[in-house]
Amino acid sequence: MTTADQNGKASFDQAALSGLIEHIKGKPEAGNTVWKAQTQWLGGFKSEAQIRGFTVAMDEPNALGGSNTAPNMVEVVLGAYGCCLTTGYAANAALRGIELEDIQIELEGDLDLNAFLGLKDPEESWPGYTNVRAKVNLKAKNATPEQIQELHDAVVRTSPVGSILQRPLNVSTQLTTE
């Protein structure tokens, strides 16, 4: 159950999160989960992802030949990281008794289009982000600078999307044709 906090912002169901934490503490294998998405091409460079009951549209900007109707995939990755950090700050602050008033995160990433456009071999020019920068601004009236730093360190260290961006992972992409 979500409620609104004193600032009128939606809060989260802390009891549900605490219950999940306790469940996984008692049964660590319950923490091993699988997340799913399905995507569909809509023509041109437009596509959409179906994730649980949600649809996330994506497109390329005009400069890349798209119709600029939605963010592109690499922008969604930046947004996913920022939102993952935001969730981490909100949850961890609440569990620590820190009352956050605001969370603002600015993100940017460096990406060389040469490999994506087929102008260079991916071994020569990495097609993905080479650097991602996030600037975090937290407002908390009842926390010391040391508590805010501890919160920040914990959130950055445990961010699932941050970990995906920072560490190598196995990716398997299979082709089927009809």
Say how far apart CA 104 and CA 41 lie, in whole Å: 33
- For residues 57 and 70, the answer to whether their CB atoms sit within 8 Å is yes
E strands along the chain, which residues?
38-43, 46-51, 54-58, 100-111, 129-140
pLDDT tens-place values along the chain, 178 residues long: 444 455 556 678 989 989 999 999 999 999 999 999 999 999 999 999 999 999 999 999 999 999 999 999 999 999 999 999 999 999 999 999 999 999 999 999 999 999 999 999 999 999 999 999 999 999 998 999 999 999 999 999 999 999 999 998 899 999 999 8
pLDDT digits (tens, 9 = 90+) for 84-132: 999 999 999 999 999 999 999 999 999 999 999 999 999 999 999 999 9
pTM for the model: 0.89
Q: What token pair was written down for 92?
A: 């961890």
Q: What is the pLDDT of residue 138?
A: 97
What is the per-residue pLDDT for 12? 84
Q: How many CB atoms are located within 10 Å of the residue 88 CB?
A: 22
Residue 11 has a pLDDT of 76
Q: How far apart are the C-alpha atoms of 114 and 119, rounded to whole Å?
A: 5
- Give the alpha-carbon dihedral of 119, 123, 126, 128, to 10 degrees: 100
Give the list of residues 6+ apart from residue 157 with CB closer than 8 angstroms, or none: none
Task: Collect all residues with Cβ–Cβ distance below 8 Å to 112 and sequence separation of at least 6.
Answer: 125, 126, 127, 130
pLDDT score at 8: 58
Dist CA 48 CA 100 (whole Å):
33
